[in-house]
Structure 1
Amino acid sequence: MAHSTPASARLIAGNWKMNGGAGQLREAAKVAAALAGKIGGPRVAICPPATLLHRLSEQLRGSGVLTGGQDCHVEAAGAFTGDISADLLVEAGARLAILGHSERRQGHSESDALVARKAQAASDVGLEPIVCVGETLIEREGGRALEVVRRQLRGSLPPGLAGRAFAIAYEPVWAIGTGARASEDDIVEMHRAIRAELMNLTSHGGRVSILYGGSVTADGAAAILAAPEVGGVLVGGASLRAESFLAIIEAAER
């Protein structure tokens, strides 16, 4: 029988999306100060807009709070106006990269194959990819949620990730930013299915963190994190305020 993931193995990642100017750095400083000196808790990461990444990385240096990018290009350099490479993320201090988020898949027409190339590019320069998967409401209501997520996993994880650090974030598209959340039974069923698929796809599939994302709040985090195979959470709006983000981190420490 699967059990909830130990606190020290969990990953709590905040995705600021396209939010926060320089003043947002004060919230991150509060998070780092509150976590100072704590041992054995979850890994904590903040993924700000690219314009803040270097400043945030410098501010959090030595605090134990990691920083990450929200996307990367498949190429290391070149004539790609408006894009950012994995190398540039590393240079700015990133340790992780969110890839294949549903807002990228839908708003920028990113395919599984493109996400796989991005994951490979990120991993090749030492970033830990957080590869996002998840079904739409139509797909869930049509009974295709498991099928869709399995297909996304197979298509979005390149063979080159074998043996390397990466995480999966399951984010039901219909729950992102809506206040809706998958039921506990649905979360357990999906995370177990993802684990089984990972075991088929890679030799270290049993050790890959599987995060839940989709309107994660301080009030609901404890129940989500107690579910089998849930190895952390990908937090959107609640990561913008230190108070709510710290409450989620505290739930992961139990």
Structure 2
Amino acid sequence: MNRTPLIAGNWKMHGARSEAVVLARALTETIGRVSGREVVIAPPFTALDPVGQVIAGSQIRLGAQNVHWEPKGAYTGEISTAMLGEAGCTYVIIGHSERRQLFGEVDETVNRRLHAALRAELVPIVCVGETLAERDADATAAIIERQVASAFPGASSQLVGLASDTTAGRVRILYGGSVKAANIDALMAEPDIDGALVGGASLDPAEFTRIVCYEETQG
């Protein structure tokens, strides 16, 4: 089943509001009318509103870098699905490796955030992956399988049999990890990769434009 490729740019904790607006305007000019793929940018929370205004009417969608599972309450430093929706977000990144490694994110909280996003009709970009130590210990497969099973069943090719064809067909597998213009063509030529979650390279308009406009393999 063919799935529309998804390229998402995670701006992390970079850029003041004014810088985010300049970057968003540049991307709107180069990829604002791109077709054949979905494009998402996830600026810092403080820049969601102004960036959303810049990309309004274009093909670029607005995403957030995190979300809490509760609708409101005494959760200092967190943000709710309603707040993200009010800012114009339609996507949200959940369980990024930096959240797991630096802020104690665990599979259980990833699952809670995922379900909150789905209830709010936000499209979740759920991140899974091993640490360097886990890779060195040859634990990659076990770690990823556990993380996927904890977030949602049926997301990978090994688990497709547990889900309906409709569910499996809607799940896109993105590659994340030093995605650049120099390697995007090769990555997107892989049959099991449906897109990319781009970090630092998404802060360079020319680089991110080239990534979004990757060359498709014929055949």
TM-score strictly above 0.5: yes
Q: Secondary structure at the match of 2:67?
A: coil
Identity of aligned residues (%): 42
Mark the runs of 5 or more structure 2 residues left unpaired by the alignment.
none
Correspondence list, 1:181-200, <5 A? 194-197=156-159, 199-200=160-161
AA paired with 1:219?
Answer: A
Query: Offset of 1:32 from its aligned partner?
Result: 1.2
Are 1:218 and 1:248, in contact at CA under 8 Å, matched by a contact in 2? Answer: yes
CA distance in 2, matches of 1:37, 1:131: 26
Residue in 1 that maps onto 2:196: 233
Are 1:100 and 1:110, in contact at CA under 8 Å, matched by a contact in 2? Answer: yes
* 1:107 paired to 2:119: no
Cα root mean square deviation, aligned: 1.9
Residue in 1 that maps onto 2:175: 212
Query: Offset of 1:35 from its aligned partner?
Result: 2.3
With 240-249 and 17-26 compared, the bigger mean Cα shift is at 17-26
Query: Offset of 1:226 from its aligned partner?
Result: 0.5
Query: Offset of 1:141 from its aligned partner?
Result: 2.2
AA paired with 2:44?
Answer: P
Do the aligned partners of residues 50 and 230 (structure 1) sit closer, same or farther apart at CA in structure 2, a change above 3 Å counting? same
Are 1:57 and 1:92, in contact at CA under 8 Å, matched by a contact in 2? Answer: yes
Are 2:188 and 2:216, in contact at CA under 8 Å, matched by a contact in 1? Answer: no
Deviations 1:90-128 (A, max 9, x none): 110001000000111111111111100100001111100
> Which of 199, 203, 223 is the equivalent residue of 2:186?
223
Q: Secondary structure at the match of 2:182?
A: helix
Query: Offset of 1:13 from its aligned partner?
Result: 0.1
Aligned residues: 214
* 1:34 paired to 2:38: no
Are 1:24 and 1:240, in contact at CA under 8 Å, matched by a contact in 2? Answer: no
Mark the runs of 5 or more structure 1 residues left unpaired by the alignment.
163-167, 169-193
Deviations 1:27-74 (A, max 9, x none): 2211111124443x2100000000000111111111010011100011
Query: TM (normalized to structure 1)?
Result: 0.79
Residue in 1 that maps onto 2:131: 136
CA distance in 1, matches of 2:216, 2:7: 10
CA distance in 2, matches of 1:201, 1:132: 20
Residue in 2 that maps onto 1:53: 48
Residue in 1 that maps onto 2:140: 145
Residue in 2 that maps onto 1:202: 163
Residue in 2 that maps onto 1:95: 90
AA paired with 1:235?
Answer: V
